[in-house]
Amino acid sequence: MERLPKIGIPVFIAIIILIIIIAKSAVTIDSGEAGVLYKTFGGGVVTDKPPLSEGFHVVAPWNKVYVYEVRRQEIFEKMKVLSSNGLDIQLDASAWYMPKYNELGKLHQEIGEDYLNRIILPTIRSAARSVVGRYTPEQLYSSKRDAIQREIYAETKKILDDQYIVLDEVLVRDVTLPATIKDAIERKLRQEQESLEYEFRLTKAEKEAERQRIEAEGKARANSILSQSLTDKILTEKGIQATLELAKSGNSKVIVIGSGENGMPLILGDN
């Protein structure tokens, strides 16, 4: 009976040690994550095999597992940049990114867990300064935002592709100019709009005047042709025809006496 407590203590200690070993060896990778295995006695970071996938894993207790999120992530950034003429511009942008899954070990080995601040943000800032510096405030305010967005994305992606990072998109959410510059640009745009409107009205009036001139010239030519075609003989003939038609009317008594000044008959009579 006295031997049982002496045997029970080592067994109890062994069970505790076993529980600790199992706890240290068990690793659970949540959804949207992956694990980079570090072998303390086996060459360090494992880069020649895919990372540990989602689920439960057992590793040697002397090894380590570094867990990374491998879903698409978004970062927001406010930057102070200079336009082509040296004015301060505030650029609000965001980026969608994720680590390259099969190269997660190399990312951990060469850059580390803080790759966002070490690589992504400095690269976006550098690309934004380079791109915005090519444009004037007027271009940034009006029509060039999409072009700026595409160029920042292209320059950033070119660098990140070699850093084991996938860049899905860079979005320019807002461009803020100094208040005085913004007011000046808006006044200029209003003036340009008013000028275009005036030119439109002027062009419309000129076209209407041209239409009326062409219409008047057409009528004048028609009258001229008609006047030239109406000779004395034609007029006399037309008059005789009209007189005859009028004489046939049942409501008139027609008396023809002599002739008119131009040889036209004179008709007198009524009911």
Does one domain contain both 30 and 119? no
Task: Tally the residues of the chain.
Answer: 271
**Claim to verify: residue 103 and residue 57 sit in the same structural domain:** no
Across 38-42, average pLDDT: 87
More confident residue, 62 or 16: 62
CB atoms within 10 A of CB 198: 10
Query: Do 160 and 204 sit in the same domain of this protein?
Result: no
pLDDT in tens, 101-145: 999 999 999 999 999 999 999 999 999 999 988 888 777 776 677
pTM of the model: 0.61
Residues 245-253: what's their mean pLDDT?
61
262 pLDDT tier (thresholds 50, 70, 90): low
Asked if 149 and 81 sit in the same domain, the reply is yes
Q: What is the pLDDT of residues 21-36, one digit of tens each?
A: 666 678 889 999 999 9
Based on the domain organization, do 193 and 241 belong to the same domain?
Answer: no
Within a domain: 145? yes
Examine the fold and report which residue of 136, 154, 177 is the final residue of a domain before the chain moves on: 177
Neighbours of 155 (CB within 10 A): 18
Is the distance from CB of 66 to CB of 91 less than 8 angstroms?
no
Q: In this structure, are 144 and 200 located in the same domain?
A: no
In a domain, 35, yes or no: yes
CA-angle at 72, arms to 97 and 120, nearest 5° = 20
**Last-in-domain residue among 43, 69, 95:** 69
Q: What is the pLDDT of residues 57-88, one digit of tens each?
A: 888 888 899 999 999 999 999 988 888 877 78
Quick check: is 182 in a domain?
A: no
Residue 64 shares a structural domain with residue 139: no
Q: Nearest CA to 166 among 93, 266, 219, 96?
A: 96
> Is 184 within the bounds of a domain?
no
Task: Give CA separation, 222 vs 208, 214, 238, in Å.
Answer: 21, 12, 20
Q: Same domain for 82 and 147?
A: yes
Domain encompassing residue 221:
189-229
User: What confidence category does residue 208 fall into, taking pLDDT thresholds of 50, 70 and 90?
Assistant: confident
Q: Any idea what the CATH number is for the domain that residue 168 is in? A: 3.30.479.30
Mark whether 129 and 221 lie in a shared domain: no
∠ Cα 96 105 19 (to 5°) = 110
Domain count, the chain: 4
| Residue 4 pLDDT | 47
Q: What is the pLDDT of residue 239?
A: 66
Residues 6+ apart with CB under 8 A from 107: 68, 99, 100, 115, 163, 164, 165
Q: Check whether residue 114 and residue 198 sit in a common domain.
A: no
Q: Is the pLDDT of residue 197 over 80?
A: no
Most confident of the ranges 8-22, 65-79, 85-99: 65-79
- 37 or 1: which leads in pLDDT: 37
Is the pLDDT confidence value at 260 over 60? Answer: no
Residue 156 has pLDDT above 70, yes or no: yes
pLDDT band (50, 70, 90) for residue 1: very low
The Cβ-side half-sphere exposure at 156, using a 13 Å CA radius, reads 31
Distance between start and end Cα atoms, the chain: 162
pLDDT at position 70 is: 94
Together in a domain, 108 and 161 = yes
Over the stretch 41-54, which tens digit does the pLDDT of each residue have?
Answer: 888 999 989 999 99
19 lies in some domain: yes
Give the chain as a 3 state SS string.
CCHHHHHHHHHHHHHHHHHHHHHHHEEEECCCEEEEEEECCCCEECCCCCCECCEEEECCCCCEEEEEECCCEEEEEEEEEECCCCCEEEEEEEEEEEECHHHHHHHHHHCCCCHHHHHHHHHHHHHHHHHHCCCCHHHHHCCCHHHHHHHHHHHHHHHHHHHCEEEEEEEEEEEECCHHHHHHHHHHHHHHHHHHHHHHHHHHHHHHHHHHHHHHHHHHHHHHHHHHHCCHHHHHHHHHHHHHHHHCCCCCCCEECCCCCCCCCCEECCC
- Return the ∠ at Cα 144 (arms to 165 and 194), rounded to 5°: 165
216-240 pLDDT, tens digit each: 878 777 777 766 665 666 666 666 6
Q: Which two tokens stand for residue 229?
A: 């075609």
Report if residue 264 sits inside a domain.
Answer: yes
- Say what the pLDDT of residue 238 is: 66
> Which of 33 and 202 is assigned the larger pLDDT?
33
Asked whether residue 183 is assigned to any structural domain, the reply reads no
59 inside domain: yes
Residue 15: its pLDDT value, please?
Answer: 72
Asked if pLDDT for residue 7 goes beyond 80, the answer is no
Last residue within a domain, chosen from 69, 89, 113: 69
Do residues 156 and 170 both lie within one domain? Answer: yes
pLDDT at 257: 46
